[in-house]
Structure 1
Amino acid sequence: MTGNRVVERAAAGLKDRSGRSPAGVWSAPGRVNLIGEHTDYNDGFVFPFAIDRRTAVALGDRDDLAVRVSSSFAPDPVVVHLDELGPDALRGWSAYPLGVVWALREFGADLAHARGVDLHLESDVPVGAGLSSSAALESAVALALNEHWGLGLDRPTLAKVGRLAENRVVGAPTGILDQSAALLAAADAGVFLDCRSLDAEIVPLHFAEAGLAVLVVDTRVEHAHATGGYAARRSSCEAGARALGVPSLRELPARELVRARELLDDETFRRVRHVVTENQRVLDTVRALHEGGPATIGGLLDASHASMRDDFEISTPELDLAVTTARAAGAIGARMTGGGFGGSAIALVPLARVDAAAEAVRAAFAAAGRREPGTFTVVPSPGARRDR
């Protein structure tokens, strides 16, 4: 499904579900994190890019003060009055879009004169694949309401709105990487983001020009940031920073890893080492792209995956199989992407080898008795926008 088809489905869905013609349709992309995993909530560096799979929201005005959300991926619409929105009252899938409405108010948006709206959502970003379907939804809704209600918030602030909704309403302790990618991205480029200052630089990628493509392997092992190991990893990083006397692991120089090994238990030390070395890999990747182009970053992707597998322990057998098979089939570098414990791996593959690499991965999964993975290429794409 192309981005245009998602937009048309959203517009048609709004008309079908509410009887209203859309006042506008907005969309936001999923993302691939090229490198920089679990560094965002440690005030570090990340380097994602938006992909050519999007979530669209069609908006129609209501005559009351309610917000009604619907989608083809949810059986029933949810209606909440603007005055009744609260982080503890929202449940299920509607917590994502309705959480954004609540979070807009927390960032100073005056909704006293806002009219109620119907929102209908459609998406072709795979859910649970580590491609940030949640941030695509949040960012599309945030941009739509910001423009339609005339709130005047800039895109970095809208990224914070999405993060607050994810943290406080959904209950996922994520950083700001995903929303920043969805809102700040540009075509054929990555977003080099300093998560402490929130300064962002758009860095050209030029994959196609270099004869390369990004192959995504969706292992179909779904993950959820609101539960399980993600929160444990964040807690471990925070404990390591406290023990080492730094505000965040961003402040820990690599030379201090020797001291960290002496002070910390083995598990916490390895969590800390991943973050410190991953921050450096992000800086090295951006430098390599500027100086030598994308053909020079493969080793950094490999090293990132090894660190996530061995030090941060967020990979899975399926992700490891995807990475090793893609490398053996001609990829110049490969790594898992996203929060881990499932989701997707990416491989940077010469264009002539893409089909062979994808087939090799599917065959390896079959031989290992694993569920057949999804394999597809993605193109670095623009961020959130109004489509009509």
Structure 2
Amino acid sequence: MIISRTPLRVSFCGGGSDLPAFYREHGGAVLSMSLARYVYLSMHEYFQSDGYILKYSRVETPKTLGEIEHRILRQVFEDYGIRGVDFNSSADVPAGTGLGSSSAFTVGLLNLCNAYQGRYEGRTTLAAKACEIELGKLGEPIGKQDQYGCALGGLNFIEFHPDDSVTCESVPITQAMRERLEAGLVMFYLGGTRSASEVLRKQSEQVKNSKRALGSMQAMVRQARSLRAEIMSDVDLIGPYLHEAWQRKRSLADGITNPRIDEAYERAMAAGATGGKLLGAGDAGFLLVYAPDEARAQVCAALPDCKAYDVRFDSIGTTIIYSD
């Protein structure tokens, strides 16, 4: 039995600039944090060695590789020559809620398959391979930030270059600053799930066809660069940065926000939050807000209909937590 654990992620600034339609022309950048909420994947030899048993949100018992319906599992098992396994997936939060769970699944699966075959690949290699699978082989209209944010762990500044290369820089903050950041950040689950693909497809088209949307995206990249430099001196700046980033993002395309999201955000701000944003592509999932000191309790009281979740750093990234 081998078990991999891969963190989910939150993106503070620059989300959307990791889409190929944007970064191949203009270059992109995000400031991203790995979250101490995880996707867990396990695998061991299947009793019936001529087939598979695959347990995720449903159960498959295909006899051959080609019969596997889960596209990521089928592609990775084909690439790595995985046969005759019992596979299981579980996660701390539902898929489709804006925390990068699909890419965390891919990264964790690659790590798991390497360990199963007695091989090792570094975290940046795993992220790059996950991008190749999701964007290249499977043709998903998504970006590259989730794969790196989930693979690496910690607080990272990630740049996406026109030649498709990616560079990652760990952002050093003190333990006291990290604790203050964690104490001020809170996620509210607004309900619902969604596929990011359609929202991101619309966003890419809007950036291509609208000078206003393009200008907003370029400003979001500048924001990410600026916050990367300033957060090391004052973590409380993240509130106003999140607010500005959300105002820009919600104007990029239809489907990013809705009346329920807007109303929850307005209540949080009125109660003392200094900023926030919806996590992920849009329309559903988690609202992240920054509410330092006494404002945190006030904001939680102002959103009694939304379950609040603490935000804690994961500093490790994808890892193998059990092997026997």
Residues 1:183 and 2:151 are matched in the alignment: yes
Distance across 1 between alignment mates of 2:6 and 2:31: 18
AA of the residue aligned to 1:132: G
TM-score (structure 1 length as normaliser): 0.72
Deviation at 1:345, TM superposition (A): 1.7
- Superimposed CA distance per residue, residues 336-363 of structure 1 (whole angstroms, 9 cap, x where no aligned partner): 221112222211111433232122023x
Q: Deviations over 1:305-342 (max 9, x none)?
A: 11112244422222222322222212222122211122
In the aligned structure 1, how far is the partner of 2:145 from the partner of 2:63?
29
Match of 2:203 in 1: 233
1:215 corresponds to 2:186: yes
Q: CA distance change for structure 1 residues 57 and 306 in 2, over 3 Å: closer, same or farther?
A: same
Cα displacement (A) at 1:387: 0.9
1:165 to 1:232, Cα distance in 2 relative to 1, 3 A: same
Task: State how far apart, in whole Å, the 2-side matches of 1:198 and 1:164 are.
Answer: 12
Equivalent residue letter for 2:308? T
The more displaced of 347-356 and 37-46 is 347-356
1-structure distance, mates of 2:74, 2:229: 40
Could you tell me which residue of structure 2 aligns to residue 48 of structure 1?
A: 32
Change (3 A) 1:209 1:343: closer
State the Cα RMSD in Å.
Answer: 2.4
Question: Which residue among 361, 372, 375 is the counterpart of 2:308?
Answer: 375
Amino acid in structure 2 at the alignment position of 1:361:
L
Matched, 1:319 2:261: yes
Report how far residue 115 of structure 1 moved.
5.1
Structure 1 residue 37, shift from structure 2 partner: 1.4
Q: Which residue number corresponds to residue 321 of structure 2?
A: 387
1:204 is paired with a residue whose SS is coil
Aligned to 2:55: 70
Structure 1 residues 169, 351: closer, same or farther in 2, change over 3 A?
farther
1:129-148 pair list within 5 angstroms: 129-148=97-116
**Paired position in structure 1 for 2:172:** 204
Whole-angstrom distance in 1 between the partners of 2:45 and 2:181? 47
Q: What is residue 251 of structure 2 aligned with on the other side?
A: 310
Q: 1:150 to 1:65 in 2, by over 3 A?
A: farther
Residue correspondence of structure 1 range 265-280 to structure 2 within 5 A:
268-280=210-222
- Structure showing greater Rg: 1
**TM superposition shift of 1:153:** 3.3
Runs of 5+ unmatched residues, structure 1: 1-21, 241-267, 363-371
TM-score by length of 2: 0.85
1:37 aligns with 2:15: yes
Given that residues 26 and 56 in structure 1 are in contact (C-alpha distance below 8 angstroms), is that contact kept between their aligned partners in structure 2?
yes
The number of equivalent residue pairs is 307
Change (3 A) 1:193 1:343: same
The answer for unaligned runs of 5 or more in structure 2 is none
Q: Indicate whether 1:27 and 2:5 are aligned.
A: yes
Provide closer, same or farther for how the CA distance between residues 171 and 219 of structure 1 changes in structure 2, counting only shifts above 3 A: farther
AA matched with 2:227 = T
Runs of 4+ in 1 over 6 A off after TM superposition: none
Which residue number in structure 1 is paired with residue 224 of structure 2? 282
Q: Is the CA contact (8 Å cut-off) linking 1:211 and 1:350 kept in structure 2? A: no
C-alpha distance in structure 2 between counterparts of 1:169 and 1:322, whole Å? 38
Distance 1:356 1:235 in 2: 39
2:236 is aligned, of 269, 278, 295, to 295
Corresponding residue of 1:81: 64
The percent identity for this pair of structures is 21
| Residues in 2 aligned to 1:80 and 1:34: alpha-carbon distance in whole angstroms | 43
- Distance in 2 (alpha carbons) for counterparts of 1:211 and 1:47: 16
Where do 1:154-193 residues align within 5 Å? 154-167=122-135, 172-186=140-154, 190-193=155-158
Matches within 5 A, 1:357-368: 357-362=299-304
Deviation of 1:304 (Å): 0.5
